[in-house]
Chains A and B, each alone.
Chain A
Amino acid sequence: MTYKVTEEANVSTVFLNGEIDMDVTEKAKEVILPLVEAGKEVHLNLKDVSYMDSSGISVLIESHQKALEKNTKVVVKEVSKSVLKVIMMAKLEQILNLE
């Protein structure tokens, strides 16, 4: 997994790339959670994420819940078809902010 972060006003956009599994979840959290902790609105762009398992879904849930605590939000954007299917299997499409 690789990533790129861009900043614009109070919005940080994290572009994730590759496959998100248990092996890279700590790295993903280290990128995303400090931005949420800082009160930023975080956009997770998943257009280049080709695979995500339950560990990746956990990162999305943890980020979303941390954002609620900090009165901000995490928006999940440009989800690929294969990742959307996993999100829907977990019945999270109405919970996460998907765009």
Chain B
Amino acid sequence: MNLSESKDFLVSSASLKEVRTFSRDVFEKINLPQEQKDELVLAIAEAAQNIVKHGYKGVDSTTDRMEIKIALNDGKLEIGFFDKGKAVVPENIQHRQLDDIKPGGLGTYFIKQIMDGAVFKKDEKGWVNHLVLTKKI
């Protein structure tokens, strides 16, 4: 089956639950093992959290919104994240080493574990960042 659904959210940690609910609702329409759905929801939530935590670092509150688009085409899942936070420098993104045990730095690692690809694109007018996560399912 093919599908494409998108929704926008206030950039806030309080929106993360809503992000998960949206993601779970979309994945309910796709025939996948529950375990894989849970992983995909985690990857989406981590990417959304990165926007709140890093894209808007130092910003107490904002009225900006972020958009998440989940599309499935011929077995290829593509999840887009659009935001107007600080411009991401992809080369600067790295997760901590797993044997360096300390709080933080795991979100990007989880995304890389779960997804096949994570690429920042520069083709969306009106947005600052456009992250695309992909996975063959």
Partners in one complex: yes
Residues from chain B with Cβ under 8 Å of A69 in the complex:
none
- Identify the stretch in A3-11, A38-46, A57-65, A71-79 within 8 Å (CB) of chain B at 4 or more residues: A57-65
**Residues from 31 to 53 in B contacting A, C-beta threshold 8 Å:** 35, 38-39, 42, 45-46, 49, 52-53
Q: How far is the CA of A83 from the CA of B46 in the complex (A)?
A: 15
Residues from chain A with Cβ under 8 Å of B38 in the complex:
82, 85
Residues from chain B with Cβ under 8 Å of A55 in the complex:
49
Tell me whether chain B's interface is mostly helix, strand or loop, or mixed: helix
- Identify the stretch in B68-76, B81-89, B105-113, B126-134 within 8 Å (CB) of chain A at 4 or more residues: B105-113
User: Contact: B98 with A21, CB < 8 Å?
Assistant: no
Closest Cβ of chain A: how far from B129's Cβ, in Å?
A: 18
Known: A23-B13, A90-B98. A53 touches B103 (CB 8 A): no
What is the interface of chain A, defined by CB distance below 8 A to chain B? 19, 21-23, 51, 53-55, 57-59, 61-62, 65, 82, 85-86, 89-92, 95
13 contacts between A and B (CB under 8 A): A19-B17, A21-B13, A23-B14, A23-B17, A53-B49, A53-B107, A54-B110, A62-B103, A65-B102, A85-B39, A89-B113, A90-B98, A95-B101
